[in-house]
Amino acid sequence: MEGHILIIDDEASLRQTMARILQRAGYEVTTAADGREGLALISNHSFDLVYSDIRMPDMSGLELLKVIHAKFPDLPVVLFTAQPDLNSAVEAVRNGASDYLLKPLKPQAVIERTHAILMKTRKERRKREIQRQIEALQAELITLEKNEGEEKTEAEPKPVSASSDRFVRLGALTLDLYARRVTMNSRAVNLPPTSFDYLLSLARHSPNLVEYRTLVAEAQGYEADLREAQELTKWHIHHIRQAIEPDPRKPVHVINVRGTGYRLVMS
C-alpha cells in the first residue's frame, strides 16, 4: 500500500529508525524534529498519516494533535510515548488520535498498524464518496419525479441511507455506521473514531464477552499481544463509559471481565 507518512520526534535516532522501517515497507516518509516543523510540513504537503511522540520540547504531541485535528480533521494521527498514563491516553483519544502506542516500538507492529490505519482511512473515504453519490442521485430522482407531477407515496423506494444495514441498535443505544455517530436515549454522544469502532465491536457481540485481543483486532485491524491489547482497550473503554454510562464510576453497560475482556449489556 502506498502512502506519505510524517514522523515527528525530537529524538533523531528514533526518527531515522522509524523512517527506515516504513520506507522498506514501501511508504514515502518525511521527518520533523519538533511540532512546529511538523505543522509547517503538514500545511505545505499532503500526508496520509502522522506519527508523533507525546513528550517533546516547545510543543507536546497532545498540543500538536489538537492543532492538526482542528485544521485537518481527516488526517489520522498516532501518538507514542515511553511513559504512558491514563490521562494522556484519554486526552489523546478525546482529541481524535487514531491510536496510542507504547515504546519501544516494534517494527512489525508499526508496519501492521500503518497498513491497518491507511486501509481503514481509505475505506471510510470511499464510503463517504459513495454515500454522497447516492444522495445526489436520490435528490436528482426526486426532482425528476416532481417535475413529472408524480406524488410521493409510501411505496416509493426509501433512501439507501435509511437501510437496515446502516444502524446497529441495542436498547437505548444506536450506532449510525454511515455517519459514525452514537446516540444514547435519543441523545447524541461524542466518541473519537477508534473508540466508535471498539463500541461497534462490543455491540456486534453483545451480550457476549469480547476478549482484549479480539477488540483490538476488530476495531484497529491488527494483532496485539495480551498486555498491549489490554492497555489499548482500557483507554477506549474509559472513553466509551464516559459517553454512555449513567455513572462511569459504576458501569452497568460496559462490564469488565478481569484479565479477559469486556461485555456490552443493554436492556
DSSP class per residue in 143-176: HHHHHTTPPP-TTSPPPGGGSGGGEEEETTEEEE
Q: CB under 8 Å to 232, separation ≥6 — which residues? A: 99, 100, 216, 220, 224
| Cβ proximity of 206 and 263 under 8 Å | yes
| Cα separation, 124 vs 222, whole angstroms | 17
Q: Cα-flanking dihedrals φ and ψ of residue 227, to 5°?
A: -65, -50
Tell me how far apart the alpha carbons of residues 21 and 136 are, in angstroms, rounded to a whole number: 43
What pLDDT score does 144 carry? 81
Q: Which of 37, 33, 109, 57 is nearest to 78 (CA)?
A: 109
Q: What is the pLDDT along the chain (267 residues), one digit of tens a residue?
A: 689 999 999 999 999 999 999 999 999 999 999 999 999 999 999 999 999 998 898 888 889 999 998 899 889 999 988 776 666 777 777 777 888 888 888 899 899 999 999 999 888 878 888 888 898 888 888 888 777 765 554 444 444 333 458 889 998 999 998 888 899 998 998 888 888 999 999 999 999 999 999 998 899 887 888 888 888 898 789 889 999 999 989 999 999 998 999 999 987
108: burial class by Cβ within 10 Å (0-12, 13-18, 19+)? exposed
SS3 state at 16: helix
Handedness of CA 108, 114, 120, 126 (dihedral sign): negative
Write out the H or E segment, with its range, that includes residue 266: none
pLDDT at res. 183: 93
* pLDDT reported for residue 221: 85
The overall pTM is greater than 0.95: no
**Sequence-ordered list of residues with C-beta below 8 angstroms from that of 34, at least 6 positions apart, any chain:** 8, 10, 56, 57, 58, 59
Q: Which pLDDT value is given to residue 164? A: 58
Give residues with Cβ within 8 angstroms of 38, minimum separation 6: 6, 8, 32, 50, 52, 64
Listed in sequence order, the residues at least 6 apart from 20 whose beta carbon sits closer than 8 Å to its beta carbon are none
pLDDT of residue 159: 43
In the chain, which ranges are E strands? 4-8, 28-32, 49-53, 77-81, 99-102, 167-170, 173-176, 181-184, 187-189, 210-211, 254-257, 261-264
**Which DSSP symbol is given to 180?**
T
Cell of 215: 477488540
Query: Cα separation of 147 and 143, whole Å?
Result: 6
How much is the pLDDT for 124?
84
CB 81 within 8 A of CB 54: yes
The three-point CA angle 30-34-40 to 5° equals: 65
SS3 206: coil
- What domains can be seen in the chain, in order of their start residue? 4-118 (3.40.50.2300), 164-267 (1.10.10.10)
- Give the per-residue pLDDT at 152: 53
Q: 63 to each of 17, 54, 56, 250, how far by Cα in Å?
A: 24, 9, 10, 31
